[in-house]
Structures are given as C-alpha cells and as structure tokens.
A and B are shown apart, each in its own frame.
Chain A
Amino acid sequence: MIELADQFFVLSKQQILLLMPVAAQPLASVLLSIIPIIGVFATLFALTTVLERKGLGRIQNRLGPNRVGPFGFLQPLADGIKSLTKEDVVPFRTDGVLHFLAPVLVMVAALLAYSVLPLGRNMVALDLDAGVLFFFAVGASTELAVFMAGWSSRNKYAMLGAMRAIAQMISYEIPLILSTVGVLMTAGTLSTTGIVEAQSGYSGLLPNWYVLTPWGFAGFFLFLIAATAEANRSPFDLPEGESEIVAGYFTEYSGFKFAMFFFGEYLGLFAANALAITLFLGGWNSPLAILDWVPSYVWFFAKLMGLIGLSIWVRGTTPRMRSDQLMNFAWKFMLPMSLVNVLAAGLWRFTGHGFLGWFVCGSLVAGSYCWLGVELSTKNSLKKRVYRFAT
C-alpha cells in the first residue's frame, strides 16, 4: 500500500503506456513525462506568485491580494488572462527575430532543467549520467537569452539591465558550481538520482543529508545565495532595479512575452531550489525514519515549498545591493568560501564522520567565514563620503 502510494505516478504512467500501440509508446512516454512537469510547475508558479504577494504583504503589514476567488488565490488566473489579452507592443526598431526568441529561449532553458530533477523515487524524466552538468549547461544558456532580450530591444535600459544580469550570472555561476563540487566528490557521481540515493539512510536519528555536515551546511547556503543571484531575486535584483533602469532587460516586453519572462524567472528559481534539495537536503528522502511511509514526492514538494518560502522571506527582508557590493561579494567572499568548502569536503572524506571530522571541517569553514567576514567588513566598509565639488 505504501509502495503503491509512493510509486502511484510511475505505475500509472506504465499502465497508460501499456494501453498505447507499440509504435506510439516512445513518444507517449516522453509526453507523459513532460506534460506533468509543465503542468505541476506552472501550477506551482501560479501558487507561488500569489503566495509571494501575500507573504510580502504580511511582512509589510498589508493584506496582499485577496479579491479574486477565495482569499485571492485565483489572482494568477486573472493575471494570466490579463497578460494574454494585452496588446503585444513591439517597438519599431527592435531586432524582430531576436526580440521574439528571447522569452522563448528563457522558458525553454528553464524547462529543460527540470528533465534531470528527481521529483520522487523513480520520478525523473531523464536519468542522465551527467545530470548536474546538464543542469548547469542549460542554466548557462539563459545568459544568452537575457543578452538577446536586452540587445534586441534597442533600449538603453534594457541593454544596461542585460549587461548587469549577464555580469552577475557569470560571476555567481562560479560559486554556484564550486559549492556543488563537495557533494559531487562525496557522492562520487554527477547523476541526480545517484546523489539522492547516496543521501538515503539514517545515522542515528538524523538522516544522511549532506546539509548535516559542516561542509554541506556551508555549501547549502553558498548554493542558495548563488542561486538567488542567478535567478535575479532580491537582494541581487539589480538587473531589474526599477528605481534605476525601469525593468531591466524586459523593459520593452509586454503582454504574454513579459509573462513568459516572469514564468521563466520563477521556473529558474524553482529549478535551482529543487537542485539544492537534490544536492543537500536529501531529495525525496524523508527527514525521519518513522516518516518513511509518506510518499517521496510529498517530501520533495514539501522541501521545495519550504525553500520557496525562505526565498520569499529573504526577498521581503533584504534591500537591493549596489553593483560593486555584488561583485565584491561574489569574488571576495563567495569564491574563496566555496574553494575552502571543497577543501573541507575533501578533508571530511579522510577525517571520518565523527567528532574529529566535525572539528576539523567545522573549524575550517567557520574560521574562514569569520576571517573573511571580519576582513571584508572592516577593510571595505563604507567610509564617510568625501565630495569633491559639493560642500
């Protein structure tokens, strides 16, 4: 029974496939993997937009949207209808093809990333041997889409936004990838399912998740910070800083194309969070041995909702960074920390998983964190501004 509940979607896919003629089976198998992913994550996107607005509202002592449908939960539907029926304004001088392709490419890249994310036990669309690499390769092509959007708009704000976004994405891609290296080293595989399986089981009461190791803990937060920067979310949302450059690279997009950018951005965020779950939070594994009967996908989506909630919370808290702070943070803090983290993960392999390992790796990570933090915050703190011309 528990087994059936856990494998319900896998088994039902197999049953549906058996009903199909043999010739149609490969195509049907692909479609049966793709359509649920798109459907589920589109729904999650809709839910997240309204939850985010309500959450941000509560953080700012407001109510948030509460008009459309019960408690405002049909708001995304209304927004969707609005963006579908809006006029699609394309400025006169735009580079037509690129202007059209950019939002498509953003969405395609974001959706492709889901093909290697295990959503539950045996629930992965494409179990690649190099799954994590595939994820990052697909993520890298988003930069090109952003450039296309910014450049083809023939708009200075769009161009500036695109340049900021690309500079930020390239800078944060390095700590993003380096922070996963520890996990890849320890799990010994690049396959996402392999990494999740390496984290199954329990040592004592606690699960064998990588976040519960000193290097994994640091790596998890490094990954989350870098993923937030990759997804252009607050506090790293200066590519679309509306007080400076209108809306960044999608200034010249309206109607459904704008909605596609929006959708792609959220899909990227979900994908990054899902990868964080896969790499550090044990994927579909349950946190306690006695809760093993809960279906695996429930755990996955519970963790995903938790991380989405965290990102909403962070967005509601942090102010936007300045451009030089952003770059300094990436190159002077994130990069050294992730390198130290790789070293700590290597040491963890040899010091054993007991007290010694905790002491050595923990003090290495915490020490470098404190040292870097003190160093950066004292040496590069803002001095009293000296004006050359104004008195």
Chain B
Amino acid sequence: MLGTGLIKGMAETARNFVGSYFEADRLTTVQYPEERVPVKEAARSFPFLVFDGEDPEKGLRCVACQICEKECPPQCILIVKDTAKKPDFVGKMQFQPKIFDIDLSVCMSCQICVEVCPFEAIKMDVDFEMSRFDRFEGLLIHKRELSKSNGHFQKIHPTDAAAVDANLAAEKAKAEAKAAAEAGAKAKAAATAAAATIAAGAGAAAGTPATKPGIALPAAPAVPTSKPPTSPALPLTMPGQPTTAPAAISFVS
C-alpha cells in the first residue's frame, strides 16, 4: 500500500545487485566454455553405436538387424546391410551394417532405438555441442562418426555400462560354456584322432575375440566354466568409481 511494496522490492533488487559483487555463491550462472556443469549420468543427447575393442569396424556390436530403423518414430535411421558377415563378441558370425546413418536434424532423442536394440549396440550419447555449418549434410552422421568405443560408454553412463557389460559377459560365458560342453561332447563322441583338428579350429575362432581387451576374453574355449566370472572384473568395478564428475568431461582450461 502507498508504494511501500515497490520500495521493498527495490531494496531487494538493490541487495541482489550489490551482493552479486561480493558474494560469489549468489551467482547462479556458469561461464560455459571454460567452466562446465558436470554432465548428469542420466543425460542423453543423440544415439551412438558401441564397439568393443580398438577397431570400430571389427568390434561394432551392431548386427544390422534394422529393428531400430523400423522402430524409430521420426525415422531418422538408415541401415544398409553388408553382405559380408563378421563374428560378434561370442564368435558367432553376424551381419554388419554397410551404411548406418542417423539424421540428427530429425532425431528427437526419444531413446526408443536404445530400448529396442537386442544387441546393446546403440546407446545414447551425452555430447550436446553438435552445431554444424551445414544444415543438411552436416547433421547426417555416418557410421564411422557414430561408432564410439565401449570405454566411452563406460565413461558417460557408468551404471548402465556396468550392467550391459555384466550381461554381455554372462551371455558370453554361457555361450562359451555351451561351446565347451559341445566341444567336450564332440570330443567324447569323436575319435581321439580328430581332437587335434578341433582344437586348431577353436583356436582360429578365438583368434579374433582375443584382441578385445575391453572384455578380456578367455584365451581358449577349453578353459573350464569357473574362469569367466573373473574376466568381467574390470567392468564391474566401474560403477563405484566415476559417479562424480568424470575428469575428462569437465576440462577447465
């Protein structure tokens, strides 16, 4: 009444004005390119393709099943199957994508592709600085650029990555146990003379997965089933470690 409210309000804003010069914790803003707010673990921007190991071509988990392409509500994914097959992480021969494009100008970050992927091959990234000079070609991201290592996934979403890695390791262990059991049965059934050729074939099959250090595959299929649980020890330690800001994300110049 009679302007006292106005005076009260002006006193408040004056307090803010003066206070912002003396009390640093009043300031709510972050000087963005230099300082950054640590990215939350639940953050998501656009999808990327996960690969194991070092080589994005060989280790790509995607098997070009095209479920994500079909499920994508705005239809921003384009997949073309390659005719050649490559072995997946358990050593089974699978298709691979020849072309895998995501149009980021269309993508709405709904994460449905991630939900439907049965191979844990597509995950959500947290990178948001994706401005390009070209509105059309620049925002059409190709396979090579989309492929990011499992290490990156472990870094940005540690909890999810640990669960995924545990799943995959369990699956792999199961597959290996099965393979071992089959091998054992075969070994029992077959003549002892054939045993040498089987061992050589298994060794060749295990040759490719052995180069993947991320999962640290067992060396040979002949290893007993008690060993696999120790192999995913590295991913399982991840959740406890980087729940706070990952060091590489908040780089203060």
Contact = CB atoms under 8 A, between A and B. Distances in A.
A375 to B, nearest CB: 11
A63 B17 CA distance: 10
A59 B17 contact: yes
Contact of A314 (B2, B10, B16, B29): B10
Interface string A363-391: 00000011001100100000000000000
Interface stretch (B20-28, B45-53, B244-252): B20-28
A58 B6 CA distance: 19
B17 A58 contact: yes
B16 A313 contact: no
B9 A58 contact: no
B189 interface: no
Interface in A297-315: 313-314
Interface in A304-336: 313-314, 316-318
Contact of A59 (B2, B6, B16): B16
A377 B5 CA distance: 12
Interface in B1-23: 1-3, 6, 9-10, 12-14, 16-17, 19-21
Given A55-B17, A374-B2, A62 B9 contact: no
Nearest to A55: B17
Please tell me the size bucket of the interface on A. Answer: 10 to 19
Contacts, number: 46
A370 B10 contact: no
A318 B31 CA distance: 28
Interface in A114-147: none
A314 B2 CA distance: 17
A62 B2 contact: no
A317 B13 contact: yes
A60 B6 CA distance: 17
B2 A313 contact: no
Given A62-B28, A373-B1, A374-B1, A317 B10 contact: yes
Given A61-B19, A313-B10, 19 more contacts: A58-B16, A58-B20, A58-B21, A59-B16, A60-B16, A62-B28, A63-B31, A313-B13, A313-B14, A313-B17, A316-B13, A316-B17, A317-B9, A317-B10, A317-B12, A317-B13, A318-B9, A373-B1, A377-B2
Interface of B: 1-3, 6, 9-10, 12-14, 16-17, 19-21, 26-29, 31
10 contacts: A58-B20, A61-B19, A61-B28, A63-B20, A63-B27, A316-B13, A317-B12, A318-B6, A370-B2, A374-B2
Interface of A: 55, 58-63, 313-314, 316-318, 369-370, 373-374, 377
Give the 10 A-B CB pairs with smallest separation, nearest first: A373-B2, A317-B13, A58-B17, A58-B20, A59-B13, A317-B9, A61-B26, A62-B29, A317-B10, A59-B17
